[in-house]
Structure 1
Amino acid sequence: MTPPDVAVTEVADPLAEAAPTMELLLRELDRRWPREAERLHQISRYALLPAGKLLRPLLLMESAEAVGGGGPAVVPAALSVEYLHVGSLVHDDVIDGDTMRRGRPSVAARYGTTDAIVTGDALMLGMFGALTDGAEDTGLLTEDAGLLTEDAGLLTEDAGLLTEDAGGLPPGRVLGAVRVFARAGVDLCRGQAMEGELRGDLGCGLDRYLTMSALKTGALFRAACRGGAILGGGSPAQQHALTSYAEHLGLAFQMHDDLLPYTSDSRTTGKSALSDIAAARPTFPVLLCHAMAGAPARVRLEAALGGALPAADALRTVHELLETTGALTAARDRATAQADRAKSCLESLPRSRATAVLAAVADLSVSRDR
């Protein structure tokens, strides 16, 4: 780990520098969720592995390192944010009726709605067990106190939620991170509810959309970066810088995510390109198109999102309108601007390998194809 007070003027390939961290996260995730376990754990493993981008755990690890902390002690916390993220995705697929996730059947499609809901609940609640796993043993959370017991069958060593080898974080820092994660979970739910309100409403405006996105998508980016800064012992100013970075990164990520149905095919993204259209979600480029289009184009756009056309025809119509109005290019430009703002928030931190990785993640957020 590079100390944050050592200036690193150039890192040739920051994402390559992050590879050992990603490998550590993948190994630990696989270890903590064994193949042979009870049904709920098997379904949870299916949801978690093969893993996605592990972007949020990486952000937590690098944020902790950027303020002088990090290392193996924060791995449980890093994985905990993945549990919250994946649990929310399992629920999203139930809500939206999506049958594909990461290029294979969603949990709901494979195991049914009931097991999907329970699995999403278990992953999100298990987040707190994993997050507190890294705290020093102060006698406040002990098996003797009856708060965490193997007999309950909910938090077990086999599930990877109770381990002895990753401790050492001051309890005050862990408590601070718990508060951040709890707030993030509520914000995520607020964003999900707001997305439902906006469904089918092309007149909702970009401001309401961005508020929804900052809640639904940005919540976990903020949790990862602010939580990492707290766990790493960062100062209030450092925590603020990384929180601001995360807010702009979250917007950039979601803006670009909304472009993927029009820039990548479903074999690459692992999710149906028709999902947003079928659910009548007013995504970022579509709202830009509505704002930029003339009256005839708006009528066509409203018909496409209003269910007047089969989903595949609607997607083609929307894609055409995004191109002809210039909304596709404008959406790309705005996403890139948010990524640049995210990187600018890192300038107040000591330059290091970790800040170089965080800057590279901002660039990747608007250049990825999945």
Structure 2
Amino acid sequence: MSVQANEEAPSGEAELAGLIADSQELTGLIGEVRSRLAGRWAGEPSLLARMCAHALTPPGKLFRPILLLESALAVGGDPRWALPAAVGAESGHVASLVHDDIIDGDDTRRGRPAVHAAFGVGDAIVAADALIFDLFAGLAECHAEGAPAERVVAALAVVSRCGVDLCRGQSLETEFCAGGRFDHETYLHMVRLKTAALFRAACECGALLAGGDLRHVRALGRYAEHLGVAFQIRDDLLPYTGSAAEVGKPDTSDVRNGRLTLPVIIAHQASGAAGRAVIEAALSGSGDPATARADLLDVLRGTGALTATADWARRYLRFALTALHALPISASRARLGGYAEAAIGRDR
């Protein structure tokens, strides 16, 4: 389940960019994140450097670095103390995508060859591992930027826990899909572990490094967890509401991998025996993935599962926005709310 409504839902990317542009300080910080990412592996004539640069290029929306830096601002701290961690957050996120593409057998990422497709599976695993270690290097560098050592240690603990949660979520997904249990409670638990973990790490880490008090750190953690769930639910819709060109990866990936995403679970619960048979056959991996996707899409539409899934995403979006009420009123708090709304309206 790579971290990836109706069919005409607008992208939130322009809205996200507009929110960042409202803050000259944040605009400068994100520009520096981009610059540091571009130079992170530059000048090293090695296969590892080429693979890591390939994985990081083209840069995505930098959503997790944005959340990390905005969380630092939202608690009234100095975001420069957290700047290296923001760079590391993107490295960690990209590492998870490299691993996802290998597990899912997807040869395209962000509209170009995935790392394993370009360099081979074994070397791609090494590149992803290097990017994970670069995440921890970024945390350590925060001390040189001014973050107190005890804050760096606290942030390290948060990121480590969230990293283990991500792995738990990935493993649970394998069990969940193999067991064929169309159970939304297990799905939600899995999503909280796998997808929401990196959101939680970014927000709590930014708040901790910038000197936020525990109450505000916890509020940002709740915001991030609900946002992560909403984000993944919205991501589950993309293979059925957009093209591969729009999404940036094959739109048959979920079907080919027999993935039990929320729209599929809802459709299975709402279907009779005939509809359930179609769903189970589509996810069996025994036929052409494009045909299976088309058959599955007919059931999703017929049961109203796409609309119901979009409603679930909006529900968790509301939970995320409510969690922000515990923070002091500020432009950063308002932008955090805007980011959540923009992310749920995205088409990629």
Instruction: For 2:291 and 2:315, locate their aligned partners in 1 and report how far apart those are by CA, in whole Å.
Output: 31
Alignment-derived partner of residue 49 in structure 1:
57
Q: Which has the higher helix share?
A: 2
- Structure 2 residue 116 is the aligned partner of structure 1 residue 116: no
In structure 1, the partner of 2:10 is: none
Task: Give the structure 1 partner of residue 104 of structure 2.
Answer: 96
Paired residues of 1:200 and 1:282 also in contact (CA < 8 A): no
Q: Residue 329 of structure 1: CA displacement?
A: 0.2
Amino acid at match of 1:131: L
Query: What amino acid is aligned across from residue 135 of structure 1 in structure 2?
Result: H
Whether the aligned pair in 2 keeps the contact of 1:35 and 1:42 (CA below 8 Å) is: no
Q: Deviations over 1:229-272 (max 9, x none)?
A: 11111111101110000010000000000000111111111110
**Are 1:335 and 2:313 matched, yes or no?**
yes
1:188 aligns to 2:166 (yes or no) = yes
Structure 1 residue 203: Cα displacement? 2.2
Q: What corresponds to 1:10 in structure 2?
A: none
Aligned length, in residue pairs: 329
Alpha-carbon offset, residue 204 of structure 1: 4.1
Asked whether 1:364 is paired with 2:342, we answer yes
Deviation per residue, 1:91-123 (Å, 9 max, x gap): 111112110111110000000011101001111
Is 1:79 equivalent to 2:87 in the alignment? yes
Inter-partner Cα distance in structure 2 for 1:281 and 1:261: 11
TM-score by length of 2: 0.91
Q: Is the 8 A contact 2:242 2:347 kept in 1?
A: yes
Distance 2:138 2:162 in 1: 16
Aligned to 2:299: 321
Match of 1:134, SS?
helix
- Tell whether 2:280 aligns with 1:302: yes
The one-letter amino acid of 1:46's match is H
Partner of 1:59: 67
Q: Which amino acid aligns with 1:327?
A: A
Residue identity matched to 1:295: A
1:14 paired to 2:19: yes
Contact 1:15/1:360, CA 8 A, preserved across alignment:
no
Q: Which residue of 2 aligns with 1:144?
A: none
Q: Of 289, 292, 295, which residue of structure 2 is paired with 1:311? A: 289
Instruction: Confirm or deny: 8 A CA contact 1:107 1:116 kept in the other structure.
Output: yes
Alignment of structure 1 residues 1-370 onto 2, 5 Å: 14-17=19-22, 19-34=27-42, 36-136=44-144, 167-370=145-348
Instruction: Find the aligned partners of 1:268 and 1:19 in 2 and give their Cα distance.
Output: 26
Q: 1:42 to 1:204 in 2, by over 3 A?
A: same
Per-residue Cα deviation, 1:275-317 (whole angstroms, up to 9, x for no partner): 1110101111111111111221111111111134310011111
Partner of 1:343, secondary structure, is: helix
Gaps of at least 5 residues in structure 2 are: 1-17
Shift of 1:31: 2.5
Structure 1: runs of 5+ lacking an equivalent: 1-12, 137-166
Q: Distance in 1 between matches of 2:146 and 2:87?
A: 16
The two structures have a TM-score, normalised by structure 1, of: 0.86
CA contact (8 A) 2:158 2:205 kept: yes
| Structure 1 Cα separation of the partners of residues 169 and 340 of structure 2 | 22
Larger radius of gyration: 1
Mapped to 1, the partners of 2:241 and 2:299 lie a distance apart of 14
Q: Distance in 1 between matches of 2:315 and 2:27?
A: 27
The offset of 1:37, in angstroms, is: 3.2
Read off the aligned partner of 1:127 and give its amino acid letter.
L
Deviation of the 1:185 alpha carbon: 1.1
Q: Give the distance between the partners of 1:29 and 1:339, measured in 2 at CA.
A: 30
Single out whichever of 230-239 and 251-260 deviates more from structure 2: 230-239
Q: 2:285 and 2:151 mapped to 1: Cα distance?
A: 50
Structure 2 CA distance for aligned equivalents of residues 334 and 70 of structure 1: 35
Higher mean displacement: 22-31 or 351-360:
22-31
